[in-house]
Structures are given as structure tokens and as C-alpha cells.
């Protein structure tokens, strides 16, 4: 599917191939209620830890690894917060906190990235184990860092590609379209990935 969409992109534009990229998304569910203990590994703040650890067994935690962002950091998302952490945090969870968090699923993405003028287009097949689950596309518009201004530009670009209809996600920090003047950050990107990968692929 990645090659099909890439071929279609090439027919509409003259994209510059900029390389392969990967993602990995791991979903964990809370198994008991104690809060995560403090640590010195670059883990989320105490406020974020409380959101991860308390609350009746219904909480989840998502760890997202994007190859085109900081290779030394993970994005960790919970229902209450989203932060970037050192990689040692996930090792701590896996080795020391298995009684609190159970692994539910891992999704991997493997794909290709292109530049089209001021846009970056990343296309990836999503796999769960060896099972193909679908295709994910990220479109980044570099000149515009404001949420309120970027959505229309990106939506117009995507619709102009003539690709098969899919789910379009564009959310700000509060879950909406972004307040006037609100600047985009890597955490906004991470939030969208986590939402799509958790809900769109059966998490």
C-alpha cells in the first residue's frame, strides 16, 4: 500500500525522496492502583506519574517511538498528560513495574518519506506482529507553526492528492482544532499518533 500511495503522489507532484522512516507504538494497561514511584531516569513529573498510576484500573499508557524525532527520547501519553522522556523510563516500567502495567499491543510502522515543496509526506504500513493493519500518512507543513492556520493548508493538500478517503486527524492540545496563536509542537504530533494508533487499530 505504501508503494501504491507513493506512486500516486509521484503522478500528482515531483516529490523528493528523503529516506525510510519507522515508528513503534506500545500500549500498556494499568493492572493496579498504586502510583508510580519517583525516579531519576528522565521520567515524567510527579503530576504526570499520578495520572499514570491512580484511578481504578482503567488507565492506559502509550509509548511512542518516532525515528524522525529525537532518537534518545520517547513520547509517553496517558489520559491526563503527554510528555517526552528518556528511553530508560520504558526500561524501568518493563523491568520494575510489571505488576502495575501489562503490555496490550505493539504496532510497528515502516515506510518512506518525501518532500513536496514545503510539505513533508510520510507514508507507512502499520503492522501488528506480521499482520498488516493498514496505512498511516503524516503530512507536515513546515512554514506554518500555528494550528489555526495550518489545518486548512494541510487538508487542501491531502484532498488534492486524490487518495482513497481515510480518517483525517488534526487536533490541538485540548483535543480541538487549536486556539488562535497556539503553536504546534512535537507533543501535538505525538498526541495525534497515539490517538490514531490506539483507537484506529483496536487498542
Cα(186)–Cα(40) distance, integer angstroms: 23
pTM summary value: 0.76
Q: Residue 15: its pLDDT value, please?
A: 92
Q: Residue 55: its pLDDT value, please?
A: 35
Cα(28)–Cα(103) distance, integer angstroms: 4
Domains of the chain: 1-30+58-197 (2.40.320)
Residue ranges of E strands in 5-118: 16-30, 60-66, 73-77, 82-86, 101-116
Q: Residue 149: its pLDDT value, please?
A: 75
pLDDT average per 10 residues of sequence, the chain (203 residues): 81 91 92 51 42 50 91 89 87 76 90 93 94 90 75 84 71 50 78 85 53
Count of CB atoms situated within 10 Å of the CB of 19: 10
Nearest to 10 by CA among 110, 112, 140: 112
Amino acid at each position: 500500500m505504501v508503494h501504491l500511495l507513493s506512486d500516486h503522489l509521484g503522478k500528482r507532484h515531483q516529490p523528493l525522496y528523503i529516506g525510510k522512516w519507522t515508528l513503534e507504538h506500545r500500549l500498556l494497561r494499568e493492572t493496579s492502583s498504586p502510583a508510580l514511584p519517583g525516579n531519576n531516569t528522565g521520567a515524567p513529573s510527579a503530576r504526570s506519574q499520578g495520572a499514570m498510576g491512580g484511578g481504578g484500573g482503567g488507565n492506559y499508557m502509550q509509548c511512542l517511538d518516532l525515528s524522525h524525532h529525537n532518537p534518545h527520547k520517547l513520547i509517553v501519553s496517558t489520559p491526563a498528560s503527554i510528555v517526552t522522556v528518556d528511553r530508560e523510563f520504558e526500561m524501568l516500567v518493563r523491568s520494575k513495574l510489571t505488576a502495575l502495567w501489562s503490555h496490550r499491543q505493539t504496532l510497528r510502522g515502516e515506510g518512506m518519506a518525501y518532500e513536496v515543496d514545503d510539505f513533508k509526506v510520510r507514508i507507512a504500513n502499520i503492522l501488528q506482529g506480521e499482520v498488516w493493519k493498514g496505512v498511516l500518512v503524516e503530512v507536515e507543513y513546515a512554514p506554518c507553526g500555528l494550528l489555526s492556520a495550518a489545518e486548512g493548508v494541510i487538508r487542501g493538500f491531502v484532498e488534492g492528492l486524490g487518495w482513497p478517503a481515510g480518517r483525517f486527524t488534526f487536533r490541538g492540545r485540548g483535543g480541538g482544532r487549536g486556539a488562535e496563536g497556539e503553536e504546534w509542537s512535537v507533543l501535538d504530533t505525538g498526541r495525534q499518533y497515539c490517538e490514531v494508533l490506539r483507537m484506529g487499530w483496536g487498542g
